[in-house]
């Protein structure tokens, strides 16, 4: 059994919260660069500014966007790991320290009705998965409201089929237009039930930007949706162009014979997440 102290978790979550807000992962920067080289005119110039902004944030150690998000934390805990304390508490202490000492904007309200700011960006939204092994994997993802607000869930029925799924995803992206700060990564969760498909869509955003689904049907749907979305001419920041999506990710899960739940989780170009594996 490996023991991981709550203080270690707090320290790492604090570091990840600050780093996620400041440094974009190289795979996202590479895809932005590639998109810039395919565009011309205004679309190219906007992508140049996005890349310059991301590089400046990293070199000046400041957030790449004013919306430093509500924080989603994915945890994979091995069955041979023992934590002598409350993991939720340890994570939230890390978020609090990261957002206060890192001078990140606090964007969380205590109640959706009274709208009072919690002043330290807690609580995080924590998803814990139990796995085999002796490691603890923590992924910290700040999620801005601009893109999250444009996300949708729909309970389709099997008769709607693949065409129904495509129509729903395309309509969601079309209606979002420039509001979620394109170019986007479009996460699609299909299957499970109402909440599972939303989680699948969010988890799909954590996949490397250039990977493809190992499921052949999902892979072909990813390719078709990517091509169709990029024909919409929404373009970088909604001002037209070939690059509306940088990637489309489709994650699947079994579902009821009479159901076809679909969720679309929209991610803006500030696709932020940082990971640590503790043991
Ligand atoms: S959608 Fe993304 S880039 Fe736009 S303001 Fe929100 S976090 Fe920032």
Count the neighbouring beta carbons within 10 Å of the beta carbon of residue 177. 13
DSSP lists the bridge partners of residue 255 as 192
pLDDT in tens, 40-67: 999 999 999 999 999 999 999 999 999 9
pLDDT tens digits along 10-51: 999 999 999 999 999 999 999 999 999 999 999 999 999 999
Characterize the bridge pairing of strands 125-131 and 70-78: parallel
Distance 174 CA to ligand 1 centre (A): 17
Q: For the domain bounded by 2-20+64-143, which CATH number is listed? A: 3.30.360
In the reported structure, the alpha carbon of residue 134 is separated from the centroid of ligand 1 by a whole-number distance in angstroms of 36
pLDDT at position 265: 98
Q: Which whole number is the average pLDDT over 2-6?
A: 98
pLDDT in tens, 225-276: 999 999 999 999 999 999 999 999 999 999 999 999 999 999 999 999 999 9
Computed over every residue of the chain, the mean pLDDT equals 98
Q: How high is the pLDDT of residue 166?
A: 98
Q: Is the CB of 64 within 6 Å of ligand 1?
A: no
Give tens-digit pLDDT for 142-165: 999 999 999 999 999 999 999 999
Average pLDDT, integer, range 195-209: 98
> What local confidence, expressed as pLDDT, does residue 219 receive?
98
**Could you identify the atom of ligand 1 that is nearest to the CA of residue 66?**
8
What is residue 134's predicted lDDT score, i.e. its pLDDT?
A: 97
Residues of the chain within CATH 3.30.360 domain(s) are: 2-20+64-143
DSSP the chain: -EE--HHHHHHHHHHHHHHHHH---HHHHHHHHHHHHH--HHHHHHHHHHHHHHHHHHHHT--SSS---EEEEEEEEETTEE-SS-HHHHHHHHHHHHHHHTTPPP--BS-TTT--B-SS-PPPEEEEEEESSS-EEEEEEEE-HHHHTT-EEEEE-GGGHHHHHHHHHHHHHHHHTTTT-SSEEEEEEEEE-HHHHHHHHHHHTTS-TT---SSHHHHHHHHHHHHHHTTS---GGGS--S-SEEEEEEEEEEE-TT-EEEEEEEE-S----EEEEE-
**What is the residue with the minimal CA distance to atom 1 of ligand 1?**
146
Cα 92 to middle of ligand 1, angstroms = 23
């Amino acid at each position: 059994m490996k023991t991981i102290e709550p203080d270690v978790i707090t320290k790492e979550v604090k570091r990840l919260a600050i780093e996620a807000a400041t440094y974009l992962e190289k795979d996202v920067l590479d895809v932005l660069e590639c998109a810039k080289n395919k565009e011309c005119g205004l679309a190219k110039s906007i992508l140049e500014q996005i890349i310059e902004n991301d590089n400046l944030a990293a070199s000046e150690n400041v957030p790449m966007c004013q919306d430093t998000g509500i924080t989603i934390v994915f945890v994979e805990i091995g069955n041979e790991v023992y934590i002598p304390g409350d993991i939720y508490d340890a994570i939230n202490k890390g978020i609090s320290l990261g957002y206060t000492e890192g001078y990140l904007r606090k964007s969380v309200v205590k109640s959706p009705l009274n709208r009072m700011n919690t002043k330290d960006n807690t609580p995080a939204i924590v998803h814990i998965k139990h796995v085999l092994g002796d490691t603890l994997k923590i992924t910290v993802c700040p999620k801005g409201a601009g893109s999250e607000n444009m996300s949708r869930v729909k309970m389709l029925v099997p008769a709607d089929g693949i065409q129904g799924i495509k129509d729903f995803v395309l309509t969601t992206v079309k209606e979002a237009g420039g509001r979620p700060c394109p170019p986007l990564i479009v996460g699609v969760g299909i299957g499970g039930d109402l909440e599972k498909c939303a989680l699948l869509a969010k988890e799909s955003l954590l996949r490397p930007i250039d990977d493809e689904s190992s499921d052949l049907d999902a892979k072909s749907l990813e390719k078709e949706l990517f091509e169709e979305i990029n024909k919409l001419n929404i373009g970088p920041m909604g001002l037209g162009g070939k690059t509306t999506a940088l990637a489309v990710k489709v994650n699947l899960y079994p579902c009821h014979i009479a159901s076809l739940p679909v969720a679309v989780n929209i991610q803006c170009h500030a696709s932020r997440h940082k990971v640590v594996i503790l043991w």
